[in-house]
Structure 1
Amino acid sequence: CSLCGQYPAKERESPPEGILWLCASCKQKRTCSRWLRIHDSIANTIKESRPKVNEVKFPEQFEQFEKIGKESRIEGYMGYVVADGNRMGEKIKLHEVSSTADRYHDFSEKVKECTDEALVEAIIESVPKTFDKRDNSVFLPVLVLILGGDDMTLVTTAESALPLAAKFSQKFQQKTKEKGIPEISMSVGVVISKIAFPIFSYAKLGEELLKSAKRLSREMRKGGKEVGAIDFMVVTSPSTQSLEEVRKDSFYYEKKDTSERFWLTARPYTTTESDYDFNLEKMLNFTRQFKNSDFPRTRLKAMERYLRMGKGNSILEFCTMRLRLKETKETKETHYGLLNEFISTFKLHEQMPWRIEKDNAGEYFLTNFLDLVEIYEFVQGGKQ
């Protein structure tokens, strides 16, 4: 299948954007054609707020993402976003939903409304618009590929992907509460990579990230609260490894002499409010602040090296860097203060820059500074 990359293609389509081979599921979703109407809804909303706009344009060719890549701040990259409602099977079994055909139909229609409305708002708020004075048109670098009842897949600029995904998850959950149906949270997987990255590879990794986010949401549900979640990855080169293997190779190590274990990522993150410390909105806000304050990038990049040196050496290197920031009068209040705020928010002060966590194998050290480093170039802020 050209769209999901998961199932065998059964039918061929020849739209203006080129030949598509579709599985039965994607064919059904495109036949229902909400993905076409959603572009119209986005365009109409923009025209209402900007009367001078005559036309809103979207990328035309499915297999050629060059326009999106050129609009990205890091040219040649784009973001692939896949989202799905959490525990929909459980919601459908509720008496208030399935006791009658009318109730089930009403629930289904309201879920669709929540998805459409949340998506339109998230796209308009998150995706940069390019205005062309020649014909008073606006180009919006986003393309909705799949839009089902509570699931969605789209591509957009690299720096729009994470903010859009977070807002979509938040807005969808809020709208389910406003419309009087059982509250539903939304999980999201985001892949940021080069436009030349095969679409089926985007789809495969996106689904793995989505499943990872859903596991966190399911774990958070044990506390009695619906919580949206997101997992993400920046990919610079294709890999045949699974997400679990990549994470373990890139973000995990053990010190054989001390038996200490270290995780260099806190992913997945939550998208909605909860008691969980690692929230994507907080991470995005900090990333913008680091960029806007012109925090020395060399100091952030250096973390990739010394955070892999074990507890003692990494603590020494980090504290030395922090002390030097404090001694720099010009940026003491901004850079030093910002670093301390990050440490406090994510509770990394116990063994700075680490926090101690536990699993079935015992204690391990965790930090999320490399999450910030990974997305740094793909979050708007700083000198454009």
Structure 2
Amino acid sequence: MSTPTSYKDRLSQVCDELNWVKEQFGEVAYAVVSALACQRLLLMAAGKWQEPMAGDWDAELSRVAQTFGEGGEAANLADFEKRWFGAEAALALVSADTDKVKSYVYESAKIPEVRGASGLLQDLNEKETAEELHKRLGMPPEWIIYAGGGSFLIVTPTELADQIAAEIARLYPAKTLTATITAISQPVSLSDLHSALGEQVRELGFLLKVAKLQRKVMPYFDTLPHGEFCAVCNIRPARERYGDTPDLLCASCTQKRKHSDKRRMLNKFIEFLNGEPQLREKYFRGASPEAASWAETLADIGQLGDGYVGAILADGDDIGQFVHSLETLQEYHRFAHGLEKAIEEAVFHSLATHLHCHPLSSPRGRWTHFHPFEIIALGGDDLFLIVPASIAFEVGLSIVEEFAQAKSCVLPSDLQDHHWGMSAGFLICPDHFPIYFMRAITDELLARAKQETRRKLYTQQRVPSEQAREPESYIDFLILKGAATPRRHVEELLSVLYEPGERGDVRLTERPYPLSRFRELLDLAGQLKGAGLSRTQVQAMAQALYRGREQATLEILYRLSRLPEQPRRVLDDLIQQSLRAENALFPWTEHPGARPPYRTTFLDLLELYEFVQPLQGEGGDDDAS
């Protein structure tokens, strides 16, 4: 059923007449009552509406608005819905999620296409879908309860639900040519919408997964035998040239490259800085924001890290469990917007604190400076960004720490005792690594960190409450210096790199680390650098660890005794801590029952040393220059 123009205009008029609800009771109450009013109008237009014998529509609708705006008895909602709409649910929930995001975004190894693909999806998710639904169906943007991370949750009249789902599914391939989205709808009672939303969202999630598995039609492009393939993706037939490049691009990659010129994420970052005058001044250092552009290539970012970049992937811990714990539409709306704000502010604050705008070696037109970072993804509860390697660990760790501090601002009061945090995977690699491989490796690092976080959470749940400690999120990292892209999974790489010899009794790493322990190691590495520990001394101690447990212990203790006073004093605390620990003899810690049983944090510390800023004592300047 299509919505005639006259009824689309009438829907908009009905919604406009209810603006007082938004002003008095908030956006959630407005979304519900305006959707109810539109359902009534659509039923009238279809000849399905039956007016009850008694009742004041406007007065009762006002009470519904009050219930969703201020809280109230769900029983009143059931009575209202039954009398005015009969046995059929008046409203429905539409849930949608983008399909195979990584395949679309990381299809190319070149940063303009990756940036453009990510930007296209983010614009569709955060802005264009709402605008298109309003334009074609008269749907007010307030019906969208959540839009982020490639997903939607929309409350809608039952009569419009299938149309809205179909319009979303049509819009994505129409705008991107190759990206698709799966959208479904499910009727929902007012009572469940008010007090059992978590269960409804869980059921929608299951139905959405089923719908994704059943998808059969995907965008397809014919390729003639004598045709030329796209110079970027090498998958689809080339169609045209874009800009100054001689490369022939397919229609999809042309769309991505065109969109890479947009500054939406930069504008959000600058808007954040405008609210933080001191950070803004520190970050721009006299440069004009209008004269600063994205980095042209990852080499621009890598030049600030001696040819290396750091890829940071982070994701909120058990966010799905929080969503399923939320009972009301108001809580869901508040949580979704609070989560988005917490992640964006953590990312923007960390970038502005630890980085600053840099001059271009060769100005490009009006661009004289560039931002030394690349935000590939920032939405929902996850993020993926690339920064200079020399500051990557500090930037990533600061994001995770600041996100953890946002707990009281995001979670409802009855969920404050739940674990709240963000696990992360950090990768240091040469700046010529394809972005797809960066994402694939950090995905595995993040999975290892999340697995350890979940294991610790499960362990804490079995401990008596009076003995339980606040569980922490975990961080995993990997440093790759080779020129070749690794063809192994992370677990295999760790075995090859950190389990030397034939005895199989040592593992030269303790990764992943809890947040507080990783902070200790990072600060210690910075203090060692600030104390004047030389790279030659670091390399000698690192090599000693590969010579077997007994010989490594003797050689490292010997080398420590010959260190200058300042770096030796910095390491004294680490040694004393090891001597006090159970099953530990510096630099080893024994893990009975584990394979391998002997592990050490010392090599992790030495590896971190190369990619930290020097610290003096407890503080120091950790701003990447």
| TM-score band w.r.t. shorter chain | 0.7 to 0.9
- Equivalence for 1:370: 603
Aligned counterpart for 1:357 among listed residues 579, 591, 601: 591
Aligned counterpart for 1:344 among listed residues 572, 576, 581: 576
Q: Within 2, Cα distance between the matches of 1:314 and 1:11?
A: 42
Whichever residue aligns with residue 613 of structure 2, its letter is Q
Q: Secondary structure at the match of 1:358?
A: coil
1:223 and 2:318 matched: no
Q: Do the aligned partners of residues 246 and 20 (structure 1) sit closer, same or farther apart at CA in structure 2, a change above 3 Å counting?
A: closer
Over residues 286-318 of structure 1, what are the superposed CA-to-partner deviations in whole Å (9 max), with x where a residue is unaligned? 111111111133232122322122222112112
Whichever residue aligns with residue 341 of structure 2, its letter is E
| Alpha-carbon offset, residue 85 of structure 1 | 0.6
**TM-score (normalizing by structure 2):** 0.51
Matches within 5 A, 1:121-132: 121-130=349-358
Q: Do the aligned partners of residues 347 and 168 (structure 1) sit closer, same or farther apart at CA in structure 2, a change above 3 Å counting?
A: farther
- Equivalence for 2:479: 234
Q: Secondary structure at the match of 1:184?
A: coil
Whichever residue aligns with residue 493 of structure 2, its letter is V
- Equivalence for 2:510: 266
Q: Do the aligned partners of residues 109 and 309 (structure 1) sit closer, same or farther apart at CA in structure 2, a change above 3 Å counting?
A: same
1:112 and 2:340 matched: yes
1:31 and 2:124 matched: yes
Q: Secondary structure at the match of 2:505?
A: strand
Q: Within 1, Cα distance between the matches of 2:106 and 2:537?
A: 52
Whichever residue aligns with residue 549 of structure 2, its letter is K
Q: Do the aligned partners of residues 230 and 309 (structure 1) sit closer, same or farther apart at CA in structure 2, a change above 3 Å counting?
A: same
Segments of 5+ residues of structure 2 without an aligned counterpart are 1-98, 127-147, 150-262, 462-469, 617-624
Whichever residue aligns with residue 366 of structure 1, its letter is R
Q: Within 1, Cα distance between the matches of 2:526 and 2:105?
A: 45
1:251 and 2:251 matched: no
| Alpha-carbon offset, residue 128 of structure 1 | 3.8
Q: Within 2, Cα distance between the matches of 1:81 and 1:321?
A: 34
Structure with greater contact order relative to length (CA < 8 Å, sep ≥ 6)? 1
Q: Within 1, Cα distance between the matches of 2:331 and 2:609?
A: 46
Q: Do the aligned partners of residues 161 and 217 (structure 1) sit closer, same or farther apart at CA in structure 2, a change above 3 Å counting?
A: same
1:380 and 2:613 matched: yes
RMSD: 3.4
1:40 and 2:267 matched: yes
- Equivalence for 2:104: 9
Q: Within 2, Cα distance between the matches of 1:370 and 1:380?
A: 18
Q: Within 1, Cα distance between the matches of 2:103 and 2:571?
A: 49
Q: Within 2, Cα distance between the matches of 1:30 and 1:43?
A: 17
Q: Do the aligned partners of residues 20 and 53 (structure 1) sit closer, same or farther apart at CA in structure 2, a change above 3 Å counting?
A: closer
Q: Within 1, Cα distance between the matches of 2:106 and 2:265?
A: 23
For the pair shown, which has the larger CA radius of gyration, 1 or 2? 2
1:190 and 2:426 matched: yes
| Alpha-carbon offset, residue 346 of structure 1 | 5.5
Over residues 166-218 of structure 1, what are the superposed CA-to-partner deviations in whole Å (9 max), with x where a residue is unaligned? 11111111112234444521011111111111111101101001101111211
**TM-score (normalizing by structure 1):** 0.81
Aligned counterpart for 2:445 among listed residues 205, 209, 223: 209
* C-alpha contact 1:68 1:78 (8 A) present in aligned 2: yes
Whichever residue aligns with residue 330 of structure 2, its letter is D
* C-alpha contact 1:78 1:192 (8 A) present in aligned 2: yes
1:54 and 2:282 matched: no
Whichever residue aligns with residue 267 of structure 1, its letter is R
Aligned counterpart for 2:380 among listed residues 149, 155, 158: 149
Q: Which has the higher helix share?
A: 2
Aligned counterpart for 1:71 among listed residues 304, 313, 323: 304
Q: Within 1, Cα distance between the matches of 2:106 and 2:598?
A: 50
- Equivalence for 1:312: 550
Q: Within 2, Cα distance between the matches of 1:219 and 1:149?
A: 24
Number of residues of Structure 1 aligned to a counterpart in Structure 2: 354
Whichever residue aligns with residue 206 of structure 1, its letter is T
* C-alpha contact 1:80 1:190 (8 A) present in aligned 2: yes
| Alpha-carbon offset, residue 130 of structure 1 | 3.1
Aligned counterpart for 1:174 among listed residues 394, 405, 427: 405
* C-alpha contact 2:106 2:436 (8 A) present in aligned 1: no
Q: Do the aligned partners of residues 155 and 10 (structure 1) sit closer, same or farther apart at CA in structure 2, a change above 3 Å counting?
A: closer
- Equivalence for 2:91: none
* C-alpha contact 1:252 1:263 (8 A) present in aligned 2: yes
Identical aligned residues as a percent: 23
- Equivalence for 2:561: 323
* C-alpha contact 1:5 1:199 (8 A) present in aligned 2: no
